[in-house]
Structures are given as structure tokens and as C-alpha cells.
A = this chain, B = another copy of it.
Amino acid sequence: MNDLFEPLKSATTESVRAQIRSQAYRGHTAGLGGNTLQANLAILPEPYALDFMRYCQRNPKPCPIVGVSDTGNPNMDTLGGDIDIRTDTPAYYIYRDGIHTDTVHDLRNLWRDDFVAFALGCSFTFEHALQQAKVPLWHIENDRTVPMFATSIQTVKSGPFEGPMVVSMRAIPNARVDEVVEISRKFPLAHGGPVHWGDPAIIGIADVSSPDWGDPAPVPDGTTPMFWACGVTPQAAIKNAKPSIAITHKPGHMLITDIADDAETPIYQSR
């Protein structure tokens, strides 16, 4: 299945999404879709939607909202010309009562008239900008998943949604820390500037070589561990809220939108 990955790197956004929709490609989306915004996904029954949307507004670094569907409508019209949220993400996690029970590749049999889909900005956008500035990113160069950690930073509660902020870690050469802060702050819809850098213990991380999610990554001498709010945070909040059903993307397996990653607003203009 992943034989498709290398050719897809140079494919158009539309054709990548077509390969995902047909399930010809079910893999991760890092590096795909050119310079377009990719998004984390959360789908909830409408009775949870207002509280979840307020949770995202109150926690804009981990949960930057880039699109919200109409209730029951699987099309995300503000994010592209033809996006069906039921089929256009390579893999989905199903949570029942807050527990991850299944991983699927198509939601057409699960979709309900009361579902609301949320698309949330993801770190691929600022990583792309860092790569263009020739900042070394170890996990990308070594084809690993970025290391992620639960922290002692609590998110701002909304209704049943609450929990720790989850962060991702990138070890950055000391001389480039200030520049990396500045670059990432330019992407408020992709987690923005780091929430912390330096001593991991200050945000409750006991062992920076042992992540809670993703793969371990080294912090060599001469580098500083930098921590960004991460899109896994809302998955932790959903586990705490325990809705009878909720759906997210599988980490790394994102929705590829038609929005340019340097767009001022994430609103698709049809041509």
C-alpha cells in the first residue's frame, strides 16, 4: 500500500485525496499535498459540539479551529472544493465512551445526522516553514513520528472537556532557537509559537527520552528541547468527556485541505 507514498509526494492535492478516498492509500500524510494546510480531525455528536468548540477556542495553541461542518453534513465546504470528511482521511480512530475501540478507513457506515466535524490545524504547516528555513528536524530526517508528552500544563476546561496539554518535542540547535520561535509564531492556525523550551521538568516531563506517544528522539549537546502544543490534546479531552461515540484521525494521518498553508484565513474561495 505504501508503494504509493513516493509518487504521491509530487501529486496534486486533488489526486492525493482521490487516492485516499478510494483507499488506495491509507498511510501517513507528512510531506503530501504540497503547500496546503493539513488538519487534525474530531467528530462528535451535536450535544457535545458547542462545549467542544468552546474548549478549542479556550485552548487555541493545541486546538486551532480551521473548519467546522454543518450538523450532519459530511462536506467541509470552507476547506476545499470537494472534501467528504467520511472518506478523505487515510485512517480514523473510533472512541466509544472515551475508549479507543477501532481503527477504520471509511466512515460512511458510521456517519450520523447529528455529527459535527471539526478540523484543527496541525504542526506539519510550521514544520514545512522550518524546513524551508533549513532548520534540521531529526524526526523527519529519520522518518520517525515526532515524540509527544503529556505535561503538567492543564488546558482550560469547557463542559466535560478538560485534561493535560500534550506537547511535541523538537531538539533545535541553540543558535536557532529565537528564529524558530519567530517562524512558528507566524502560524497561529498550526499551534503557533512553542509553549516552552529548555528544562523539560518545568512542564512535568520526567524523561525527555521516553515519550508518551510517537518515537524517542535525541537531544544532542548544543541543542535545546523545544515544546509545541500538540493536536493529541483534544484526543485526551475526548477521553475525559466520554461521549458515547467520537471519531478522530489516526495520528499522522491527516485531512489534506485545499487551503494554502500561508493563507491569511482558512476559508476556501471557489474559482
A residues adjacent to B (C-beta < 8 A) = 46, 49-50, 53-54, 57-61, 65, 67-68, 70-71, 78, 116, 156, 158-159, 185, 188, 192-193, 264-267
Given the known A-B contacts A46-B50, A267-B156, are A65 and B70 also in contact in the complex, defined by CB atoms under 8 Å?
no
- Nearest Cβ in chain B — how far from A39, in angstroms? 13
Contact between A57 and B67, CB atoms less than 8 A apart: yes
Instruction: Please name all residues of chain B whose beta carbon is closer than 8 Å to the beta carbon of A192 when the two chains form the complex.
Output: 264-265
Complex: chain B residue closest to A268, CB-CB: B156
Given the known A-B contacts A78-B156, A156-B78, A158-B70, are A265 and B54 also in contact in the complex, defined by CB atoms under 8 Å?
no
How many copies of the chain does the oligomer comprise? 2
Which of B58, B70, B158 is A267 in contact with, Cβ under 8 Å?
B58
Instruction: Please name all residues of chain B whose beta carbon is closer than 8 Å to the beta carbon of A71 when the two chains form the complex.
Output: 50
Instruction: Please name all residues of chain B whose beta carbon is closer than 8 Å to the beta carbon of A61 when the two chains form the complex.
Output: 265
Closest 7 CB pairs of A and B: A50-B50, A60-B265, A54-B68, A58-B78, A53-B53, A57-B68, A49-B50
25 contacts between A and B (CB under 8 A): A46-B50, A49-B50, A50-B50, A50-B53, A50-B71, A50-B116, A53-B54, A53-B57, A53-B68, A54-B68, A57-B65, A57-B67, A57-B68, A59-B267, A60-B265, A60-B266, A61-B265, A70-B158, A78-B156, A156-B267, A188-B188, A188-B264, A188-B265, A192-B264, A193-B264
Instruction: Please name all residues of chain B whose beta carbon is closer than 8 Å to the beta carbon of A159 when the two chains form the complex.
Output: 70
- Nearest Cβ in chain B — how far from A140, in angstroms? 25
Q: How far, in whole Å, are A185 and B158 apart by their CA atoms in the complex?
A: 30
- Nearest Cβ in chain B — how far from A89, in angstroms? 20
Complex: chain B residue closest to A65, CB-CB: B57
Contact between B54 and A70, CB atoms less than 8 A apart: yes
Instruction: Please name all residues of chain B whose beta carbon is closer than 8 Å to the beta carbon of A65 when the two chains form the complex.
Output: 57
Q: How far, in whole Å, are A33 and B68 apart by their CA atoms in the complex?
A: 34
Q: How far, in whole Å, are A139 and B49 apart by their CA atoms in the complex?
A: 41
Complex: chain B residue closest to A116, CB-CB: B50
Q: How far, in whole Å, are A58 and B65 apart by their CA atoms in the complex?
A: 10
- Nearest Cβ in chain B — how far from A268, in angstroms? 10
Q: How far, in whole Å, are A61 and B57 apart by their CA atoms in the complex?
A: 16
- Nearest Cβ in chain B — how far from A82, in angstroms? 17
Q: How far, in whole Å, are A65 and B185 apart by their CA atoms in the complex?
A: 19
Q: How far, in whole Å, are A91 and B186 apart by their CA atoms in the complex?
A: 36
Complex: chain B residue closest to A47, CB-CB: B50
Instruction: Please name all residues of chain B whose beta carbon is closer than 8 Å to the beta carbon of A59 when the two chains form the complex.
Output: 267
- Nearest Cβ in chain B — how far from A76, in angstroms? 11
Instruction: Please name all residues of chain B whose beta carbon is closer than 8 Å to the beta carbon of A70 when the two chains form the complex.
Output: 54, 158-159
Q: How far, in whole Å, are A154 and B154 apart by their CA atoms in the complex?
A: 40
